[in-house]
């Protein structure tokens, strides 16, 4: 089989828009010169619009976890009590990061495949005035659960804890009104819904969170945001940034804004619904039962009696479609489909056709065309 063309349906990195890829072959520019200063100023202020904040936005050269680490290292001091919402691998990543920086971590666990209950956040905070921060995941990529950050922020109420949110696999596809909802810190990355290659991370700090940065006692150097703030005043970063990805970022934000942020959100919801309806027509069950908690960007699917590794291998090797395996405690029982970034709803038709072919080859009794048909009908109905 022609092995060059791979269709990525994984929860990141996602397919990169060709226009963005072209920017990465431009001649490099001086990251301490006027052309970069102007570019940096433009992308920072556009990012502020996407984060929906008047606060400070930082561009880091690193993956999403570097933005998460910057969030922790700049807000937490050793010994601080923090509450971490854990219902999947990325909630657990917040907990491990906070522990690494010496915090006393209280895990508020919720079953994998369900959303965090804002009432439990309210109760946990009501019991302890001393909690310094609450860490949450907007879109838990390991389970395909979208958490209701607006409701979690409302549940935090007047409690002084900062609300810190991982939006790595939702930024650009789900609403997150940072200032309007009272979210203090948001971390995200380039390689998901922004349609870019991996390599840049973004972290935004609201006013209250920025005040906490000066107080935080955790050791930090590369991710010391005070240095980034000093350099941002002259349109630079303290350390060499990935200049090419800054070019790509400007294009990516332009693409998103030309489509319209609301239209992009609706596109992701339609992709999600097409995948869910197509899978259930094939007798496959999504892990997330509650529609309201179903992620617009990634769907975890229960394999049942399916040989998942074989099914994924067939999809990739025979048909060129790359699907993700399960993660953490769901590793053996689920596979995941990423439907985010540079994708159209109609791409879900091809995806479901390949799911059908690979299921048939893997020995599952299905009627070819059933999943595709259900998705096509939904597409016609909704467009
Ligand atoms: C929700 C979520 N948080 C954090 C990360 C970590 O991002 P990275 O792998 O870019 O460090 C990911 C990556 O898949 C993610 O999906």
pLDDT attached to residue 92: 98
Dist. CA 60 → ligand 1 center (Å): 14
pLDDT attached to residue 40: 98
| pLDDT, tens only, 92-102 | 999 999 999 99
Judged against a pLDDT cut of 80, whether residue 178 lies above it is answered with yes
What is the rounded distance in angstroms from the CA atom of residue 348 to the CA atom of residue 364? 20
pLDDT attached to residue 39: 98
What is the rounded distance in angstroms from the CA atom of residue 38 to the CA atom of residue 247? 11
Judged against a pLDDT cut of 90, whether residue 2 lies above it is answered with no
Residue with tokens 């509650």: 290
Q: Which residues line ligand 1 (CB under 6 A)?
A: 11-12, 63-65, 90, 137, 139, 141, 166, 168-169, 189
Which CA distances in Å does 167 have to 37, 112, 177, 260, 346? 27, 18, 12, 19, 25
Class of domain 18-258: alpha beta
Dist. CA 295 → ligand 1 center (Å): 15
Is 167 within 8 Å of 187 (Cβ atoms)? yes
Taking only Cα atoms into account, the Rg of the chain, rounded to an integer number of angstroms, comes to 21
Q: How confident is the model at residue 4 (pLDDT cuts 50, 70, 90)?
A: confident
pLDDT attached to residue 162: 98
Of 71, 88, 90, the residue with max ligand 1 atoms within 8 A of its CB, to mutate for a pocket test, comes to: 90
Percent of residues, the chain, with pLDDT higher than 90: 98
Q: How confident is the model at residue 50 (pLDDT cuts 50, 70, 90)?
A: very high
pLDDT attached to residue 1: 67
**How many DSSP H helices and E strands does the chain contain?**
14, 14
For ligand 1, atom 7, which residue shows the shortest CA distance?
A: 64
For ligand 1, atom 2, which residue shows the shortest CA distance?
A: 168
Taking the domains of the chain in order of start, what are their residue ranges?
A: 7-14+261-382, 18-258
Q: How confident is the model at residue 3 (pLDDT cuts 50, 70, 90)?
A: confident
Name residues whose C-beta falls within 8 Å of residue 117's C-beta, 6 or more positions apart in sequence.
110
| pLDDT, tens only, 328-376 | 999 999 999 999 999 999 999 999 999 999 999 999 999 999 999 999 9
For the residues 255-277, what does the mean pLDDT come to?
98
| pLDDT, tens only, 273-316 | 999 999 999 999 999 999 999 999 999 999 999 999 999 999 99
Query: Which of 61, 84, 121, 2 is closest to 245 using CA atoms?
Result: 61
- Tell me the sheet residues that pair with 84: 107, 135
| pLDDT, tens only, 53-111 | 999 999 999 999 999 999 999 999 999 999 999 999 999 999 999 999 999 999 999 99
Of 94, 168, 171, 187, the residue with max ligand 1 atoms within 8 A of its CB, to mutate for a pocket test, comes to: 168
What is the third-level CATH fold of 7-14+261-382? 3.90.1150
pLDDT attached to residue 197: 97
Minimum-distance ligand 1 atom for the alpha carbon of 198: 10
């Amino acid at each position: 089989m022609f092995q060059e063309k791979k269709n990525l349906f994984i929860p990141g990195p996602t397919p990169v828009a060709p226009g963005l890829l072209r920017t990465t072959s431009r001649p490099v520019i001086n990251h301490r010169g006027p052309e970069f200063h102007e570019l940096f100023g433009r992308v920072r202020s556009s990012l502020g619009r996407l984060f929906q904040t008047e606060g400070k936005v930082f561009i880091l050269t690193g993956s999403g976890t570097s933005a998460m680490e910057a969030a922790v290292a700049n807000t937490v001091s050793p010994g601080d009590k923090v509450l971490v919402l854990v219902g999947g691998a990325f909630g657990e990543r917040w907990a491990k990061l906070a522990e690494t920086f010496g915090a006393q971590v209280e895990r508020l666990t919720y079953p994998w495949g369900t959303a965090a209950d804002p009432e439990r956040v309210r109760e946990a905070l009501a019991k302890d005035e001393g909690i310094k921060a609450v860490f949450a995941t907007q879109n838990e990529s390991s389970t395909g659960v979208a958490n209701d950050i607006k409701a979690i922020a409302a549940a935090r109420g007047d409690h002084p804890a900062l609300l810190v949110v991982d939006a790595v696999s939702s930024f650009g596809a789900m609403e997150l009104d940072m200032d309007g909802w009272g979210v203090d810190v948001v971390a995200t990355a380039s390689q998901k819904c922004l349609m870019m290659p991996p390599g840049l991370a973004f972290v935004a700090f609201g006013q209250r969170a920025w005040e906490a940065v000066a107080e935080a006692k955790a050791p930090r150097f590369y991710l010391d945001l005070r240095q980034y703030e000093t350099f941002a005043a002259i349109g630079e970063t303290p350390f060499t940034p990935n200049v090419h990805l800054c070019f790509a970022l400007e294009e990516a934000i332009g693409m998103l804004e030309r489509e319209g942020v609301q239209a992009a959100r609706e596109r992701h919801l339609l992709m999600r619904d097409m995948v869910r309806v197509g899978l259930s027509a094939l007798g496959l069950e999504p892990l997330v039962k509650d529609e309201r908690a179903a992620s617009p960007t990634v769907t975890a699917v229960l394999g049942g009696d399916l040989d998942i590794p074989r099914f994924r291998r067939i999809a990739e090797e025979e048909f060129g479609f790359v699907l993700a395996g399960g993660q953490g405690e769901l590793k053996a029982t689920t596979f995941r489909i990423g439907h985010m970034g540079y994708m159209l709803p109609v791409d879900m038709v091809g995806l479901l056709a390949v799911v059908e072919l690979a299921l048939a080859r893997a020995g599952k009794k299905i009627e070819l065309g059933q999943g595709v048909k259900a998705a096509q009908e939904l597409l016609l109905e909704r467009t």
